[in-house]
Amino acid sequence: MVKEITSHSNEYVKMLKSLKRKKSRDEQGLYIVEGMKTIEEAISSGQEIECIVSSDKNSAVMRFAKQHNAKIIAVPYEIVQQIADTKSPPKELACLKKQENLPDFSGKFYVAMDDVNDPKNLGTIIRTADAAGADGVFISETSADFYGPKAQRAAMGSTFHVPIEVCGLKKRLAELKDEGVLVVSGSLQGGDALPKDITAACVVVGNEARGISDEVAVLSDVLYKIRIYGQAESLNASVAAGIMMYDVRRALKG
């Protein structure tokens, strides 16, 4: 069933607009994703859908949503623009329910973020972790909100594919170490060699400006520095994260 809303002052529309703010996302337990591909991935991967919003009643995503019995709201494009975070958004967006229960983490390859503040970096790191076959992603409570629109756009649907936990990172890394997981943290004070035949590992990416915290450095088994051959002083956090992930992934045994 399709519900049509044309008023910009509709209370439900106001609620959807408010989800640009983290406080509202936390209070409502909802968040927004944009674009047909991401919406189809959300539905196909079993995400809980609050509603699909579209200004095109004949779009493929509307037909896809109907097939999966998703709640559909038809609105003018101007309302889509107000709900979305970009100036020229796609005609379709979805309001999804945030996960209530922590996912199960089992495997041998993890990625963690220690105070990563830029949501675009955070989303890109999640996407790369997904591509590298990570079994889970741990995000410190001081990092950007992965449910935010910029992070979701950068992740390109990868938040639906890999288990993610926002946590006290120090405690989580200590637990991983107790389970035999090697903690490999990016650091300018590190070396460029990795142990051979690693059985399980967690790659830690630090803050864009300050790097990993002292607490994380103490918990790290390996401080890893990416070799730079040119004149650049450093790499973007998400680029460095990708290099580290694949370096460590190749060093994993089996």
Chain segment 57-110, per-residue pLDDT in tens = 888 888 888 888 889 999 999 999 999 999 899 999 999 999 887 777 889 999
pLDDT 10s digits, 145-179 = 999 999 999 999 999 999 999 999 999 999 999 99
Average pLDDT over residues 113-124: 99
Residue 40: CATH number of its domain: 3.30.1330.30
Q: Which residues constitute the domain of residue 55?
A: 2-97
> Does residue 122 lie within any of the structural domains?
yes
Backbone angles phi, psi at 126, to 5 degrees: -60, -45
Co-location of 30 and 70 in the same domain: yes
Residues 86 and 114 in one domain: no
Residue 135 has pLDDT above 90, yes or no: yes
Residue entry with tokens 């999804």:
96
Contacts of 10 (CB under 8 A, 6+ apart): none
Q: pLDDT digits over 29-63, tens only?
A: 999 999 999 999 999 999 999 999 999 988 888 88
